[in-house]
Chain A
Amino acid sequence: MRDLDLERRLVGERTDLLGSIKVPELGVIHTRARAVKRRRRVASAAAALALLGTVGGGVGILRSGPATAPPDMAASGTPPFQSVYRGSGLTMWGLTDPRLDLPGHLYSVEFADAEQGFAIAAECRGDACELSFAVTADGGRTWNKRPLPIDRAPARSLPVLVAFGAGHVGLTGDAASIWSDGHWVSSDTASPQSVTFVPTGGRLWMPPSDACATGPLYVWRTGRPLATLATKPPIEVCRVMSAPSGGAWWVGGYVNGAAGRRPAVAVSRDAGVTWQKFEFGAATGDAWAQVSSLGSDVYASVVSLRDADTGMLRLHAVYRSAAGGPFRPHGPNDGTLVGEVVPLLDGSLLVASDGWYLSTRGGRFVRDTESLPYVGRFARTPGGWVALDLFRTGYAAVSRDGTTWHKLNVY
């Protein structure tokens, strides 16, 4: 009998499911079909060129000219079809042509500003990964593949990108380098110089970690090797905001005092020379604070590691400082997330937690149930927010405000 009940529910579910599926206009399919044909033509041309290259003595196919060179994928003359995903007041614009298919998966995407972006992908067999790198100079619409100082790395220690300044990006790891004016310059990290401040166009940084791995602060500088910051903030630093907010550098972490460990943030309004700290009520024993910003408003999220395998964090509290004022509780005090908290213009907060979650006025997170695709994590970069692992397939998107997203034409 119970089996029959279950089967009845399943049949009812079939009806609901079929009724919920909207059939798009056939024109959508025609437009996609034109894109399929274009991809096939490009693939045929690329194969022919590869054959010519082989016959002609193996001429390298990677171009390393300036970022304003034509994209590596040919543009079409017809208006491209563009999917649009909407839900919970958010919009994500889908891919357009031309697109650049890098081998493997995008795992690090950074924008130095609204136009200059960088992406690195890895194709792994076991622990051995082949790397590829692409740059955009138009906000992610067109991409060009470029060489890297290394073409392989172990899966467990892949280098990441760190964008800063006017179109610069650092590459971490054993081959630490800075991309500048269309080529890589080695950046010695064996004995980094100590500097007293973060120069204009530079970036305060610490190696990424899923948990709270405290360590020294580094400074990426235009045309100079990677350095360390001489003055240590008055907290144990776990996270560094990727760009200054209103000219101030913010870091998040915790302090160890007589009362035990307390989440804390610190700010430097003079480029890292002096620091001021703010402590928050104790949450759990291993919690720390991480910082986001929206204009002159600063948000401190108190989190702790929930799952080391997934990098999932438990959110304990959010505090907001409006226009330089004191930190006050803001929004949810419970939830999970991977990556960073994205403050939106309407005061709500957006997090990735196996989907898109928005905070409500009631102080809890609600999952988007409309058409937004899966998202792995949100990360702040100097030029905007980046959403990674869309659709669980390695697509990425960029947004200036967290509300309107554009899928990147590189994957």
Chain B
Amino acid sequence: MGGGPRTAARAAAEQALAEVYHASYRRLVTQLYAFTTDMTEAQDVVQEAFARALARPQALKDIDAPEAWLRTVAVNLVRRRWRRRQILTTIMRKERPVQQLVAEAPGPERSDLRDAMAALPRVFREVIVLHYLADLPVDEVAGILDVPVGTVKSRLSRGRAALAARLDGYPTEVAHAGS
């Protein structure tokens, strides 16, 4: 009952996961925000990814790139939820409203810039958030999205233009640069 090699190995695996957790949690949430545009949901799927890792017999010890593995799990969760929601939209005959008419004060957790990013077409939003907010290099963004590096660069350029068009103080012509 005092714990044998298996218990010690499990403790080491959990310790390793704890280190990844504290080092990667914020970064992963930021990356997942690219897909959810909702911080609460991004945090939920990242926590679920860590929970699934912890539920594995060796946690993350047998995985070469833990953060990439966690990101893949979390992104798959988002995509599964997204598919479910698309079906629900079909059922309810409604889609997400594209415009809010209700007067709203900018909140501390949601800036004009973030609102503008959330309103971008999905392909632009993903690359902008992953590259600029999650600070991932272009080749890693390409790997996550499973598209060529050239496509990421092109989407970044067009995404920046589309973002500028949605922000105050950026003239419309900027929106067409590179498009």
Enumerate chain A interface residues (CB-CB to B < 8 A).
2-3, 6-7, 9-11, 13-14, 16-18, 20-21, 23-24, 26, 28-30, 32-37, 40, 83, 85, 104-105, 107, 122-124, 129, 155-156, 158, 210, 306-307, 309-312, 314, 334-336, 338, 353-355, 357, 364-367, 369-374, 376, 389, 391-394
CB closest residue in chain B, given A11 = B132
The answer to whether B174 has its CB under 8 Å from any CB of chain A is yes
Query: Which of B27, B84, B108, B164 has the most A CB atoms < 10 Å from its CB?
Result: B84
| Known contacts A11-B132, A18-B26: A156-B101 contact under CB 8 Å | no
A107-B88 Cα distance, complex, nearest whole Å: 8
Contact with A along B36-53 (1 / 0, CB 8 A): 001111011001101111
The answer to whether B18 has its CB under 8 Å from any CB of chain A is yes
CB closest residue in chain A, given B41 = A391
Enumerate chain B interface residues (CB-CB to A < 8 A).
18, 21-22, 25-27, 29-30, 33, 38-41, 43-44, 47-48, 50-55, 81-82, 84-85, 87-88, 90-97, 100-105, 107-111, 113-114, 128, 132-135, 160, 163-164, 167, 170, 174, 177
Q: In the assembled complex, how far is the CB of residue B158 from the closest CB belonging to chain A, in whole angstroms?
A: 12
CB closest residue in chain B, given A122 = B91
Partner of A309, one of B53, B94, B105: B94
Given contacts A3-B164, A24-B43, A391-B81, list 18 more A-B pairs with CB under 8 A.
A7-B132, A9-B167, A13-B113, A13-B114, A17-B133, A21-B26, A21-B43, A23-B22, A33-B50, A35-B51, A36-B48, A314-B101, A335-B103, A336-B97, A336-B100, A369-B109, A392-B82, A393-B84
A105-B81 Cα distance, complex, nearest whole Å: 11
**Is A309 a contact of B93 with CB atoms below 8 Å?**
yes
**Is A124 a contact of B97 with CB atoms below 8 Å?**
no
A355-B33 Cα distance, complex, nearest whole Å: 17
**Is A13 a contact of B133 with CB atoms below 8 Å?**
yes
A384-B12 Cα distance, complex, nearest whole Å: 48
**Is B105 a contact of A21 with CB atoms below 8 Å?**
no
Report whether over half of chain A's contact residues are helix, strand or loop; otherwise say mixed.
mixed
Q: In the assembled complex, how far is the CB of residue A95 from the closest CB belonging to chain B, in whole angstroms?
A: 11
Q: Which 3 A-B pairs have the closest CB atoms?
A: A369-B107, A32-B51, A33-B54
**Is B133 a contact of A105 with CB atoms below 8 Å?**
no
**Is A394 a contact of B84 with CB atoms below 8 Å?**
yes
Inter-chain contacts of A336 with B (CB < 8 A): 97, 100-102
CB closest residue in chain B, given A357 = B102
A358-B100 Cα distance, complex, nearest whole Å: 14
| Known contacts A3-B160, A122-B91: A353-B102 contact under CB 8 Å | yes
Q: In the assembled complex, how far is the CB of residue A256 from the closest CB belonging to chain B, in whole angstroms?
A: 28
Q: In the assembled complex, how far is the CB of residue B69 from the closest CB belonging to chain A, in whole angstroms?
A: 15
**Is A6 a contact of B160 with CB atoms below 8 Å?**
yes
CB closest residue in chain B, given A18 = B26
Inter-chain contacts of A13 with B (CB < 8 A): 111, 113-114, 132-133
